[in-house]
Amino acid sequence: MAKRNSQPNVIVFFTDQQRWDTTGVHGNPLGLTPNFDRMAAGGTHLYHSFTCQPVCGPARSVLQTGLYPTTTGCFRNSIPLPESSKTIAHYFREAGYTTGYIGKWHLAGENPVTESKRGGYEYWLASNALERTSDAYDTIVYNNDNELVKLPGYRVDALTDAAIRYINKRQDEPFFLFVSYLEPHHQNHRDDYPSPDVYANTYTGRWTPPDLAALRGTSAQHLDGYYGMVKRLDEALGRVFDAVKSLSLTDDTIILFTSDHGNHFKTRNGEYKRSCHESSIRVPTALTGPGFTSRGQIRELVSLIDLPPTLLDAAGIPVPESMQGRSILPLLRRETADWPDDVFVQISEAQTGRAIRTQRWKYSVSSQQHDRNKASSDTYAEEFLYDLQADPYELTNLIGFQSHRQTTEILRERLLRRMAEAGEAPAVILTAEEKMSGQRRVSELEARN
């Protein structure tokens, strides 16, 4: 039997673009995620888990640094993480861990990714934009020496095989392993969701989430492949559990499952994410292992930015004061009464937007002078207000309703406070009435001209 480590191993199982309601514990009836469901039931299930930036690169910068994208500077895709950034890999290495990264990185502007741009990870088997260098049955990554490596099998299986090999070789020393999958993200060059061949056409027409059923988008075309990808990811999670168990490391290993953002299938804008809606920002998240076993379902709102300090705290590593999230461990021990009752979301590329999500309400604003090369704006205008209690699928926008003016005022102030806490410059939010008045003035001037 392997010797129990005084420091727990940590494995991050990270998926890309996975909706929370692909899982059985969130009501999906198709049996796609028995391993995740078992993990959530026997470990710690973060029932209300959200990204703080529904874009691939920015979300990854958050999970690596514990800082908001406007702090790291990675507020949109194609902005490399500054080489001076201190990541969780650095903190784990300083604490005596070996560190490894496998899969999609998306925080460098190059392929292969040179050592200085790997965020401090020692072992490297990855590609910056995996969707650009590989396909479902053509997995191309790069090793520590920047050599091209083609891995056999379906892409999920190929990366999982590599992860299991890493775990097997390092079972006698504490390790931190980050496995970053592309699935269930689309294959960019053909806008497709290629599931394993065995699941092709298995899920066509089987179950459509209510928001997609109402708004349509591309879900009828893509849900089958998307669900097949989720199914294979869950099987990979089960293989990781099996590997850890077979090496007698279960009691010594923390495993985190989460995703960078969701997928609204072109219902909220012209692509798949980059919006304030649940389908874009809510993700499945669970942890198991030392400190997380049998902790049950946590109903407080948790953000992606809270996960880096949580992992460090669980490993006994001091959480840097510079991190902008907070560890959930006091929450699990019911030692804190001041856990935030909202999460803050920054949105880029499709818009320069900001949103706040409480247990009941969703409130979002967007800049009227959107510039994808600017991290923020000095002026925003109200765009969405949803009552999630009465309208969980966000089909009725209440912004501008007189009946909800007081609620809107409270949420506006909360959002401005959250923006300031994140280090953003002071900004003004135009009310829905001010926004409409401005639009009317513009229309009148255009009519005169």
Sheet holding 379-387, edge to edge: 342-347, 353-358, 361-367, 379-387, 428-430
- Residues 107-154: pLDDT tens digits? 999 999 999 999 999 999 999 999 999 999 999 999 999 999 999 999
Q: Is the pLDDT of residue 90 over 80?
A: yes
CB atoms within 10 A of CB 261: 30
Of the pLDDT bands very low, low, confident and very high (cuts 50, 70, 90), residue 449 is very low
- Residues 294-353: pLDDT tens digits? 999 999 999 999 999 999 999 999 999 999 999 999 999 888 768 999 999 999 999 999
Q: What is the pLDDT of residue 448?
A: 42
Q: How far apart are CA 449 and CA 447, in angstroms?
A: 5
Residue from 205, 184, 202 nearest 193 by CA: 184
Q: Is the pLDDT of residue 64 over 80?
A: yes
Q: Which are the contacts of 335, defined by CB distance < 8 A and separation ≥ 6?
A: none
pTM attached to this predicted model:
0.96
Domains of the chain are: 9-332 (3.40.720.10), 351-448 (3.30.1120.10)
Residue from 406, 268, 437, 276 nearest 353 by CA: 276
- Exposure class string for 408-431: b at 16+ Cβ within 10 A, else e: beebbebbbebbeebebeebebbb
- Please say whether the beta carbons of 66 and 305 come within 8 A: yes
- Residues 366-398: pLDDT tens digits? 998 889 999 999 999 999 999 999 999 999 999
